[in-house]
Amino acid sequence: MASSSNYTKALTYENMNAKVRNVQYAVRGELAIKAEDLKAKLQQGDTSLAFKQIVNCNIGNPQQLQQKPITFFRQVLALIEYPDLLSEENLPLAQKLFPADVIQRAQDINQSLGGAVGAYSHSQGIRAIREHVAQFIAARDGYPSDPDSIYLTTGASGGVQQILQMLIANSQVGVMIPIPQYPLYTASLALYDGRPVPYYLDESNDWGMDTNELQQSLQKARDQGVDVRALVIINPGNPTGQCLTKENMMEVVEFCYQNQLMLLADEVYQTNTYFPQQLPFHSFKKILSSARPEVRDQVELVSFHSISKGVVGECGRRGGYFECVNLDPRVMEQVYKMASVALCPNVSGQILVDLMVKPPQEGDISYPLYQQEAQGIYESLKRRSQRLHEAFNSMENVSCNPAQGAMYLFPSVKLPTKAIIAAEAAGKKPDDFYCLRMLDATGVCVIPGSGFGQKDNTYHFRSTFLPPEQLFDDFIAKLQAFHSEFMDTYR
C-alpha cells in the first residue's frame, strides 16, 4: 500500500526520457534564468544590485525591447479577433477608427477563416494564406511555388522539428549543422537521438562556409558509419550573421546533389540583410530552381521562414512556414499526417504570415505608414548593428565580424589566463564565467559562445543589437566599462 512516507513519483529526473534530459538550449539557459531571477529581485524593490534593469540581449525578441509592432498588422488583427466590430451595426464606427484597406483585409481573412478565428484551421494551414505565401515566393525568386508544398507552422521551430523528427529514423542518422549554430538544431537532434555532424564556419573569413570543410566533415562522419542524410544551412546566420553568396550557394546545392543530402534552408532572417548591395539575400529555392535539370529535379529542399524576425518581430504569435521541393510524394503524405496529429498551426500566427507575405502595396491607403514603419525599423537595426560592432571592436582583446544579416553579433574575446583559472575554480566554462560577470555588473544578459559551439580554446558571446536606439549610448558604455574592469581584474 502506498503511503506518504514511501510514495514514489511516477516521473523523476532519474527515470525520465534521457533524451529530454540531454537537451540543451542556451538561448534560455543559465544566463537567461539568472536574468529572470534578478529581474524579480528588482521588481521586489531590491536596490543592492549594480543596475536598475535587466537588458535581455540573449534572445532575438524585438518587441521585448520596445520595438513597435507594424500598425497595419495590429489593426487587421484587432478586427479579426473581435468580428462584431465589422457587423453591419458597428461598421460605421469601425470606418471611423480603421482605414478602408484594413477593414477590407480583415473581411477577406475572416472569409478565408470561415468566419471563425477560434476554430481549428486546415492542418496544413489556411489555403488562401498558403496561396499568398506561394505568390510571395514566386515573386521573390522568379520561379513558381505550389501552395500544396507549403505548410504553415507554429513558428519556424515547429517546422524544423517536424522535418528533423521524420529524418531521424534511428540513432545512426546524422544531420550536418554549422558550428556556431542556433541550438534548436542540437537540441532537436538530442531529443530525437540523431547525430549532429558539425561543419565549422570560418571566423577569419566573416564566418564564411567552405565546401571543402563540408566534404571533410561528411566524409569523416560516413567513415564512422554515420548515415548522414541532411545539411542544415542558416542563411543569414545565427549567431554569426553571415550572408552566403550565390556562388557559394550553388556549390552547396551541388554538394547536396553529389552526396544525396536533403538541404534544410533556415531563412528566417531573409529580410535582415544589412549590406543588400554587396550581399543581397538569395533563397535556396531560387538557386536550386536555376541549377542544371538533374540537380534541380532531384535535390530535396525544405526552406523555413518565420514571423519572429525581419521587421515583423511578432515572435509571441508563433507563426511561420516551410516549403518542400522534390520530396518523395509518400513522404509528403507523412508530412501531412503529422501536421494533422498537431491539428493545426496557431491561427494568429497564420494571419501574421499572411500579413508578412502580403503587406500593403503602393497605392493602398495604409502603404505610406507601413513603408515608413518597416523602413524605420530596418534602418534602425542596421545602425544599431554597426554601432555595437564598432563598440565591440574598440574593446581590449575583442574582435568581432560585422553582422551581414540577422540580429546578432558574435564577438571573440581573448580571455586572460587568470580569468580562465578563475572560471575553472568557479566550475564554469570561461565564456560562461565572463557572461555571468557581465550580467552581475551591468544587468545585460548575453549568451556564451559555448551555447552555440565554437572552436576549442576560443571564447565568444552572442548579443543582439535590439536595445532601443535611444538607450544605446548607455548600453554600450556599460559594456565597455564592465569589460575594461574585467580585463584589469584578471590581468
Ligand X SMILES: Cc1ncc(COP(=O)(O)O)c(CN[C@@H]2CONC2=O)c1O
Q: How far is the CB of 409 from ligand X (least distance, A)?
A: 12
Nearer of residues 188 and 412 to ligand X, judged by Cβ: 188
Nearer of residues 350 and 366 to ligand X, judged by Cβ: 350
Nearer of residues 320 and 416 to ligand X, judged by Cβ: 320
Nearer of residues 73 and 182 to ligand X, judged by Cβ: 182
Nearer of residues 137 and 315 to ligand X, judged by Cβ: 315
Q: How far is the CB of 57 from ligand X (least distance, A)?
A: 10
Q: How far is the CB of 50 from ligand X (least distance, A)?
A: 25
The site for ligand X (CB under 6 A) is made up of: 27, 59-61, 155-157, 182, 184, 234, 238, 266, 268, 306, 308, 315, 320
Q: How far is the CB of 155 from ligand X (least distance, A)?
A: 3
Q: How far is the CB of 320 from ligand X (least distance, A)?
A: 4
Nearer of residues 62 and 208 to ligand X, judged by Cβ: 62
- Ranked by CB distance to ligand X, the top (closest) residue is 155
What are the distances in angstroms from CA 88 to CA 93, 101, 115, 311, 479?
A: 10, 17, 15, 34, 56
Q: How far is the CB of 269 from ligand X (least distance, A)?
A: 7
Nearer of residues 194 and 239 to ligand X, judged by Cβ: 239
Nearer of residues 56 and 442 to ligand X, judged by Cβ: 56
Q: How far is the CB of 420 from ligand X (least distance, A)?
A: 26
Q: How far is the CB of 265 from ligand X (least distance, A)?
A: 11
